[in-house]
């Protein structure tokens, strides 16, 4: 959990000062198992979160007496009241158990341009960006390959000719065959980016199937412009724009 995400999720900026202080202390408690805070600590936490330094005496009084979120220990540090901590867990603890949200911010693919068209593609694009940011380049390459494959299929579906890319059992062809088909299609007329389709495919193939190969940042960076142009082309051809 990132601090700014937590502050947004809890609407901390619109809370009273004491509540805001309680929230930043709770974040520190969850992230670093800290349960004892001096007023200097709390002032520092608030400032690190982008807020003004508080009047420490007034805030301490509010946290202990008005909010009843904290107790004073023998060293005059503030510790969470057990009931207050349990209540905070009820309200906000699920933020640390989120198995849906993908933390990403257009690290590789511009989300504001390509997300919001198709839910499953949105999640895959965000996973690509997250993997790239986290240096998980093989995972990134395999996901890029998957999005490429999906877009080819969606393009054929949009043109009503997806029977051309199915085997006798009705299953879609493998990516290598899909790329060969779309490159040579007289119905789906692609720009010169089609000349790079095999290169885009190969990067994902190496990561998916190479026994000794592991991808690095440069492998992704070398194709990212071509991949971006491919996205523009196939998003348009598949009717997602």
Q: In this predicted structure, what is the pLDDT of residue 79?
A: 95
- 105 in any annotated domain: no
78, 36: one domain = yes
Tens of pLDDT along 105-123? 899 999 999 999 898 999 9
- 66 in any annotated domain: yes
Q: In this predicted structure, what is the pLDDT of residue 134?
A: 95
Give the Cα-Cα-Cα angle 136, 232, 101 (nearest 5 degrees): 40
Q: Please state, in angstroms and rounded to a whole number, the distance separating the CA atoms of residues 173 and 165.
A: 6
Tens of pLDDT along 213-223? 999 999 999 99
**Which residue, 52, 67, 97, sits at the end of a domain?**
97
Q: Please state, in angstroms and rounded to a whole number, the distance separating the CA atoms of residues 83 and 70.
A: 10
pTM of the full structure:
0.70
- Residue 233 reports pLDDT greater than 90: yes
- 103 in any annotated domain: no
Tens of pLDDT along 50-107? 999 999 999 999 999 877 899 998 888 999 999 999 999 999 999 888 777 788 889 9
**Which residue, 63, 97, 131, sits at the end of a domain?**
97
131, 184: one domain = yes
Number of domains in the chain: 2
Contact criterion met (CB below 8 Å) for 141 and 219: yes
Q: Please state, in angstroms and rounded to a whole number, the distance separating the CA atoms of residues 102 and 217.
A: 20
8, 89: one domain = yes
Contact criterion met (CB below 8 Å) for 193 and 226: yes
In which domain, by residue range, is 117 found?
111-237
Looking up residue 61, the CATH number of its domain turns out to be: 1.10.10
Q: Is 114 helix (H, G, I), strand (E, B) or coil?
A: helix
Per the prediction, the chain carries an average pLDDT of 94
């Amino acid at each position: 959990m990132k601090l700014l995400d937590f502050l947004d999720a809890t609407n901390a900026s619109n809370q009273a000062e004491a509540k805001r202080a309680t929230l930043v202390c709770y974040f520190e408690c969850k992230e670093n198992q800290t349960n004892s805070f001096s007023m200097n600590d709390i002032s520092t936490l608030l400032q690190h979160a982008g807020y003004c330094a508080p009047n420490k005496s007034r805030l301490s009084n509010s946290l202990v007496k008005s909010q009843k979120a904290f107790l004073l220990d023998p060293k005059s540090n503030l510790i969470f009241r057990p009931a207050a901590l349990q209540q905070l867990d009820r309200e906000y603890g699920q933020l640390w158990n989120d198995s849906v949200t993908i933390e990403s911010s257009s690290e590789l693919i511009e989300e504001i341009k390509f997300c919001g068209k198709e839910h499953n593609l949105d999640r895959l694009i965000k996973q690509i960006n997250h993997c790239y940011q986290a240096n998980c380049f093989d995972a990134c390459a395999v996901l890029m390959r998957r999005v490429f494959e999906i877009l080819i299929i969606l393009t054929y579906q949009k043109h009503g000719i997806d029977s051309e890319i199915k085997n006798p059992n009705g299953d879609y062809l493998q990516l290598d065959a899909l790329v060969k088909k779309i490159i040579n299609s007289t119905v789906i007329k692609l720009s010169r980016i089609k000349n790079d389709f095999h290169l885009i495919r190969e990067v994902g193939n190496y990561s998916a199937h190479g026994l000794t190969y592991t991808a690095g940042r440069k492998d992704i960076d070398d194709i990212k412009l071509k991949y971006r142009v491919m996205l523009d082309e196939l998003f348009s051809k598949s009717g997602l724009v």
